[in-house]
Structure 1
Amino acid sequence: MLSRKPRLRSRRPSPTTVEYTLSTKPPPSLPTALLHIVVLALRLALLSCAILLPASRLAPYLSLPPTFQSLLDDARLGHLSARLSAPLSTPALAAVALLLAFVSLQPLHVTESVLVLRGLGIQTRSSAGLWGLGDATRFIPTEKIRDVLVNEVFVGFGVQYVLVAVVEGEEDMVVVFPRLRGGKDVVLRVWRGVRACLFEGGDGI
C-alpha cells in the first residue's frame, strides 16, 4: 500500500515547459495517510534506539548536553536502552545501532522527474531518501545536449529501455530515470515529449 508499480504523470506549467514524473508513491487516501503515520512513528522509534543504545554505553565517558543526559538518566526509554545495551559487546552494539539507523532511513517510495525548459535545457531530479537525504538534481543547458535517446540495456536475461541524454564533453550518458523503469511505452512517451519540447517546438505532451 505504501509503494506501487512506477506510474507516469505529466504536467505543463507553461507553453514552453513540460514535466514528466515517474513515481512509486501511491495516490493520497485516508488509509495510506494513517499507515504513513504508523510507519513514521516506527521509524522515529528505531532511530531513537540507534542513538540511545550507543549513547547509554558512552555516557559515563562523555560530556553530554544536560537535556540529553537527563533523557538517559530519568526517562524510561533511557533506562530501557541501558538494559538492552548492557549484554552487548561494543562492536556488536555499534553494528546494531548502524543497522537500526539504516532500516529507519530506508525510503518507502522513489520519485524521479525530468523538467524540460525550451531554450534553456532539462532538469533531472531523483528523490529516494527520507526527508530529502537522497535527493539528486541536475540541470543540463540546451547547448550542451547533443541528443536524447532511448537505449536498450540488458538486465539479467531481459532487456529494459532507458531514456538517456548525450551531453557534450561527457563520456557517460545521463540516465533520466536512473532508479525506476517504467517500461517501453512510458520511456517512448517521455522521449517524444522531451524532444518535441526541447528541439522541435511541440507541446511535449
Structure 2
Amino acid sequence: RERYLMKKGQSGFEGRISMNLTFDNVCQNGYDSDNPLGKYEVGSGGVFINCLRDAELLFEGYDLSNLNVGFIIDTPGPIILAIYIALADKWGIPRDKLRGIVCNSPWRRYYSSACVCFAPEDALRIAADCIVWSAKNVPNFNTYSLNGYDSREAGATATQEMAIAIAPAIQVAEQCIKMGAQVDDFVDKFNFFLAFNNNLFEEVA
C-alpha cells in the first residue's frame, strides 16, 4: 500500500515520502519472529523487523534520504532504530539525512496494550540512552513521543491526557540529564501525539 501511494505521488513533510510503520505483536513484545511464543502472531497488526535483512526488504526501492519514517513502537524502538541506521550505513546514506520518529516511550505500553519488554527502570535507561546517542549521531531523527492520544481515546479528559503525556516525559528528560546530556541537546527531538475534540476553548488552553 505504501509503495502504491508513493507511486501515485503521495508526499509528507517537506515533500518527503512519509510512512508510519506499526509492528506486529511479536516485535512489540521484543521477540524474534521465529520464537515459538509468537507462532500465531507474526504479521498480526503490523510488520516485523528482526534483522538487517528484514529492513533491506522492507525499504527496498526507497531513498532513505528522502523518507520521513515513523516507527510506531516503544520499548523495542531503540533496537529498530539501530537496525535502520545500520541499513543507512550499508546503503551509504549519511546519518544526518535520516528523518523520522521512533515512539520510544518506556511506559506507555503498561497502560495501552500490555506489550511490555523490560522492567520500568531498564526501559527508562534504554529509552534515555537512545535519545542521548541519537541527538549526537542522527540529529534530525525524533526519538521520543509524548503520547496522550491513547489515554484520551480510553476516556481521559483533556487535562488528564496532558498530564499522562508530560509526566513521563519529565522523568525521561531527567534521566537523559543524569547521563550527562544538556536539556537543549535533546529536548527538540521530543514530539507530541495528542487527541483533539470539538471543545475548542479547552483544547486551545
TM normalised by structure 2 equals 0.23
Which has the larger Rg?
1
Identify which of structures 1 and 2 has the higher relative contact order when contacts are C-alpha pairs closer than 8 Å and 6+ apart. Answer: 1
TM normalised by structure 1 equals 0.23
Higher helix share: 2
Higher strand share: 1
